[in-house]
Each structure stands twice: as C-alpha cells, then as structure tokens.
Amino acid sequence: MHLPEPMVRLIESFMRLPGIGPKTAQRLAFFVFRMDQKDVTQFAKALESVKKDITFCEECQNISDTPKCKICQDPKRDVSVICVVEQPRDVIAIERMQEFHGKYHVLQGAISPMVEIGPDDIKIKELLHRLADERVQEVILATDPNIEGEATAMYISRLIKPLGIKVTRIAHGLPVGGDLEYADEVTLAKAIEGRKTL
C-alpha cells in the first residue's frame, strides 16, 4: 500500500468505528491530513476528554461531566415521574421532543440472556434505591420496543408494582423491532401520551 506509517495507523483507528470501512477510513484520514492543525488538536483532545472527563451521574446513571448531571441538578424538573431508558442516547431523543419534564433513569443496557446480561448487570438496583423517595409517583418504562426492552420493562414492572408506585409503559406507537433513538419526535410524543398502566 506504500502509505506512511502515521497514515496507516489513523486509517486503522477510523476503521474501529462502527459503519466505517477501509475506503471511508482512508478518505477521512486524508481529510484529517489537510485539516487545520488547530482543529486536529481539538479533535484529539476531545477524544481523550470523552474517556477522561465523563462519568455517570450518581442519581440517574446518565453520562455526565459532573457528579450529578444537568437534568438531575435542575430544580424545575418534576421529581414525581421517572422515565427509565436503556441508553444516554435515549435521553437525548426524549429531551429533543421537549414534552417530558420529569427525571430519567438510564439502565445502561437491557436484560438479554442471549449475551449474558442479567438484571444485576444493568442499573436496576440503583432505580429501586431512588424509589425510596416518597415523592416518586410514576415510573415510565421507555426501554426499546424490542424483545430485550420488553423483557426488561416486564421485569422492572414486577419489582415496582408491590411498592404501590404507578408503572407505565410507552405505547406501541413506535415501530416494533426499531431503535428508540431513531424515532421521530411526533411518534415519540404519541408513544408517551398513549402510555398504559401495567
């Protein structure tokens, strides 16, 4: 291939990212070579910073660069409703619709026996701990509308019901088998609006 070593290493790094094959990686590496020094330095710093400076919010388990995330710190958020999602990306999707004003809980995954992820491997214990707060009146289960997400929702609802807290599941306005983060705002709004008591 007669490419300089630093170029080869950058192409290899780009190829580790999802959806980036050898041709795209090569294209991106050449683009970086032509980029401003300033922008490349910023890029490299941003990469390291994401690993170094981001942690999980001690309350909702979402990603955060402070011990408590911005949403958990916000006094205007409604503490009586907790929306349970699988991933930080799901929080972004729901925030984008600007209709939910409660708090979140990020499970950081879903129960999936096939890949050996059990209830103890995701942040369910942390959720139950938060429910000790008497102000919590409803838990909305907004895990993905696929097999793992449904199973996780069922599992959590069985744990919470005995506590006398209302448990709801977002409606199947979302296409089954889809990915929550890719849902459009309207569909997502309908799904939350049509939630049902489990």
Shortest gap between Cβ of 125 and a copy of itself (angstroms)?
A: 21
Kindly tell me which of 13 and 157 has the beta carbon lying closer to a copy of itself.
13
Whether 131 contacts 165, CB under 8 Å: yes
Shortest gap between Cβ of 40 and a copy of itself (angstroms)?
A: 5
Whether 160 contacts 131, CB under 8 Å: yes
* Angle made by CA atoms 128, 87, 85, in degrees to the nearest 5: 45
Kindly tell me which of 70 and 158 has the beta carbon lying closer to a copy of itself.
70
Shortest gap between Cβ of 98 and a copy of itself (angstroms)?
A: 11
- What residues line the site for a copy of itself (CB under 8 A)? 1-7, 9-10, 12-13, 16-19, 23-24, 26-33, 35, 37, 39-54, 63-66, 69-71, 87-89, 91-92, 95-96, 182
Name the phi and psi angles at 190, rounded to 5: -60, -40
Kindly tell me which of 18 and 162 has the beta carbon lying closer to a copy of itself.
18
Task: Order the strands of the 78-85 sheet from edge to edge.
Answer: 102-106, 78-85, 138-141, 166-169, 196-197
Shortest gap between Cβ of 191 and a copy of itself (angstroms)?
A: 19
Kindly tell me which of 87 and 152 has the beta carbon lying closer to a copy of itself.
87
Q: Strands 166-169 and 196-197: what pairing? A: antiparallel
Angstrom distance (rounded) from CA 132 to CA 140: 16
